[in-house]
Each structure stands twice: as C-alpha cells, then as structure tokens.
Amino acid sequence: MAVIDLGEYGAGFLADPYPYYAKLREAGPVHEVVSPYGDRVWLIVGHDEARAALADPRLSKSPGVLGLKMLDEDVIGPYLLVVDPPDHTRLRRLVAREFTARRVEALRPRVQQITDELIDAMLPAGRADLVGALAFPLPIIVICELLGVPAADLDRFRAWSTEIVAPSSAQAERAAVHELAAYLDELIEDKRCTRPAGDLLSALLRTRAEDGDRLSAAELRAMAYLLLVAGHETTVNLISNGVRALLAHPAQLDALRADFGLLGGAIEEMLRYDGPVENATMRFTREEVRYGDTVVPAGEAVLVGLAGGDRDPARFPEPDRFDIRRDARGHLAFGHGLHYCLGAPLARIEGATAVRTLLERCPGLALDPEGGPLDWLPGLLMRGARRLPVVW
C-alpha cells in the first residue's frame, strides 16, 4: 500500500477535507499517510474501524510506549489524554467526583446570561465575526468561571490556548505551553493559600477518594490545563461550524426556526456533519493490530479520523447531506470508549443555547457577502475557521 502525502492535497484539504477522506475511504478504511507536518502515521477513515480503535486497549494514549513524550506532557504533567489505565481510571475518577452532571446543569442559567450579554453587544452593528463575538467568548468565559480563572486573564489565556491547539510554529507552541504552565502553577498556589471557594479548581484541590487518594500538584496543573484548553476550543468550533452549516442549508435553518423542538437533534447533526475535532489525539500501537484488511505493526502512531468516520456512508446514509432530522446517534465527535469527552454535556448546553438564542434574536442571519474568504485552522486536530463574518 502506497504512503499518501496529505500535504499534497494543498489548501483545498484545509477548507473541505471531506471529499479527500471519502476518496481514501473508497480505497479502504485505514491508510498510511504523511501529515502536513511531515509525520508518518496511520489514518483511520472508516466509521466502524474508528469506533473500534477508540476503544481498543491495544492502542495506547501514552507516547511512552514508543519511548517518546509529548511537549505538553513534559511541561504540564500527566493528563487524561496521554495516560492509559490504571492511571487514566484513577485521574478520571478523581475529576468526575467534582465535575458532575449536577454541577454542569447548574451552569445552564449562567450560559444563557452570558449568551444574551454577548448578543446584546453584537446586535447594534448588524454584522459581526461570529467567532470573535460569540463562539469564542461564550465557552471561554464559562470554563474560566467554572475553574475560577480571573476574568482579567481571559485575553492572555485565549492567546495561549489558540497557539496550543492550532500552532503557528513549533517555537510559538512551546512558548505558549510553558507560559500557561507557569500561569496555572501560580493560580493553583493562590487558591491553595486562600479560603475555600466554590469553583471547580478549588474543589479539585480539596477532593479525596474514599481511599484518601488525591491529585498531586503536577496532576492538578495538568487537569486544569486539559479542562481549560479542551473545555472551550471544541465548543468554539461546534458553534461556528454548526451555524455555518445552517446558513449553507436554508431549508434546514427554516425548519429549525419553525420548531426548536428539533434543536437537540440539530446539535447532534452539527457534530456529525462538521464536528469541532477532525481527528482524535494520537494513539500508539502496543502490538500488531488489524482493522479491516489493513495490518498496523506494533510501535506505530495512529490517528483516528472522527470527521472521516462520521461521513462514512456505511454508517450514515447520504453522509454529505446536512439533515437536522437525521438520527445522528453514534457519531464520533466526542470520541468513544474510555476517553469519551468529559465535557460533552457542557458543550451540548453551550451549543444549543448559543444557536437558539442567535436564531431567535438575529432575524435574517446570513453569511456576510463582504466577509472575504474563510481562514481555516491548520493541522489535523481542530476543524473550523478563525473567523465567521455574518450579517442580520
């Protein structure tokens, strides 16, 4: 099987990767590829194979199985996306004690309040960059308030986070990780030394399992890092990609405006059709594995294609059709198995609140004809545009 250089696909792959994934999928569910950054990896583009790989214990999340260490793991510490059981089980259990469904549901009124305030600020102009005006500030304000990050630090955090998930260069990414690590150490120490507060980070400082287990300083920093970065970047693209899909399909937009009872299904279809994470973070083969007719040797890096899998016609008929009445259950946008997204319930609340409020308060919402071409996020991790100019 020939190795496929994704970099040769050019700018078209960034703007719309789905035809390229479809072409790969027609030739088979698994391919050896070279990423746009020059890394050789195995890419899974079939839905059933991707779902199996996401839950396959033969695939490790730790680059340590290859004698490697990720940049952020080395600086930040061990976090959920780079550890396997039993370490993963222990860390997830400790954070799940505090990041509960009840705590998330209690955020719903505040999510609505923030959304209303952001749209209040947008409305007078009649046009806006939806990413800068709503899709980015809503989830970052929510996650920072949840964790107890001071509002004055939001702009600094935004710059660090953006550089980490869609780096402009290796040097800039490294600098952002180091600066964020130092910031989190200072924030945690401040919370350790002050009276107990009701935020999640303060709760994680205090929480203990029944056996007395608790998060170490490095684990706490790493957990805060993961919740801050993953806790808002994905929701930014859920909102902006979802609104872009609605605006590109006027009949679906009209149907949703006419019946917000369709909203829950619409959010799931947005996640399936053009979800915020294009490919899951890297996995590594502990031993030889087979998916379909393809054998991946031991000691190899594997990218599980969430975007590719969710457009697989074997799982979703007419996968390139955006249909808010579709049964999109089984999509992979939040992953599957042990590493299923911890923040999925919060992302759904934020996405539904933002979309409904936007449609209710911005009649005639449309893409801005003077907005110019979209600037797509680089790399294979995040799927979205840096800006989404709209008018109403």
Q: What is the 3-state secondary structure (H, E, C) of the chain?
A: CCCEEHHHHCHHHHHCCHHHHHHHHHHCCEEEEECCCCCEEEEECCHHHHHHHHCCCCEECCHHHHCCCCHHHHHHCCCHHHCCCCHHHHHHHHHHCCCCHHHHHCCHHHHHHHHHHHHHHHHHHCEEEHHHHHHCHHHHHHHHHHHCCCHHHHHHHHHHHHHHHCCCCHHHHHHHHHHHHHHHHHHHHHHHHCCCCCCHHHHHHHCCCCCCCCCCHHHHHHHHHHHHHHHHHHHHHHHHHHHHHHHHCHHHHHHHHHCHHHHHHHHHHHHHHHCCECECCCEEECCCEEECCEEECCCCEEEEEHHHHCCCCCCCCCCCCCCCCCCCCCCCCCCCHHHCCCCHHHHHHHHHHHHHHHHHHCCCCEECCCCCCCCECCCCCECCECCCEEEC
What is the pLDDT, as a whole number, of residue 378?
87
Tokens found for residue 211: 């056996």
In sequence order, which residues have a C-beta less than 8 Å from that of residue 220 and are 6 or more positions away? Answer: 188, 201, 204, 205
Q: What is the pLDDT of residues 266-291, one digit of tens each?
A: 999 999 999 999 999 999 999 999 99
Task: State mean pLDDT over 203-217.
Answer: 79
Task: State mean pLDDT over 326-332.
Answer: 97
pLDDT at 72 over 70: no
Tokens found for residue 355: 């979309």
Q: What is the pLDDT of residues 362-383, one digit of tens each?
A: 989 999 999 999 999 988 999 9
Cis peptide before 317 (omega within 30 of 0): no
What is the pLDDT, as a whole number, of residue 19?
97
Of 126, 113, 106, 123, nearest to 354 by C-alpha is 113
What is the pLDDT, as a whole number, of residue 99?
84
Confidence of residue 71 (pLDDT cuts 50, 70, 90): low
Residue type, position 392, single letter = W
Q: What percent of the chain has pLDDT over 70?
A: 97
Q: What is the pLDDT of residues 225-267, one digit of tens each?
A: 888 888 788 899 999 999 999 999 999 999 999 999 999 999 9
| pTM of the full structure | 0.93
What is the pLDDT, as a whole number, of residue 107?
94
Q: What is the pLDDT of residues 77-118, one digit of tens each?
A: 888 888 999 999 999 988 888 888 898 999 999 999 999 999
The rounded distance, in Å, linking the Cα atoms of 219 and 95 is 10
Q: What is the pLDDT of residues 342-355, one digit of tens each?
A: 899 999 999 999 99
Q: What is the pLDDT of residues 136-163, one digit of tens each?
A: 999 999 998 998 888 888 888 888 888 8
Q: Where are the domains of the chain?
A: 4-391
pLDDT at 60 over 70: yes
Task: State mean pLDDT over 182-206.
Answer: 85
Contact 289, 59 (CB under 8 A): yes
Sheet of strand 127-129: strand arrangement: 127-129, 389-391, 366-367
pLDDT at 73 over 70: no
What is the pLDDT, as a whole number, of residue 209?
62
pLDDT at 124 over 70: yes
3-state secondary structure 197-237: CCCHHHHHHHCCCCCCCCCCHHHHHHHHHHHHHHHHHHHHH
Of 80, 37, 98, 86, nearest to 335 by C-alpha is 80
pLDDT at 74 over 80: no
Beta-strand relationship, 294-296 and 301-304: unpaired
Count of CB atoms situated within 10 Å of the CB of 265: 17
Among 32-36, 64-68, 189-193, name the one with the lowest average pLDDT.
Answer: 64-68
pLDDT at 196 over 80: no
From the candidate CATH numbers 3.40.50.11540, 3.90.1150.10, 1.10.630.10, 3.40.190.10, the one assigned to the domain spanning 4-391? 1.10.630.10
Residue with tokens 């719903």: 108
Confidence of residue 315 (pLDDT cuts 50, 70, 90): very high
What is the pLDDT, as a whole number, of residue 40?
94
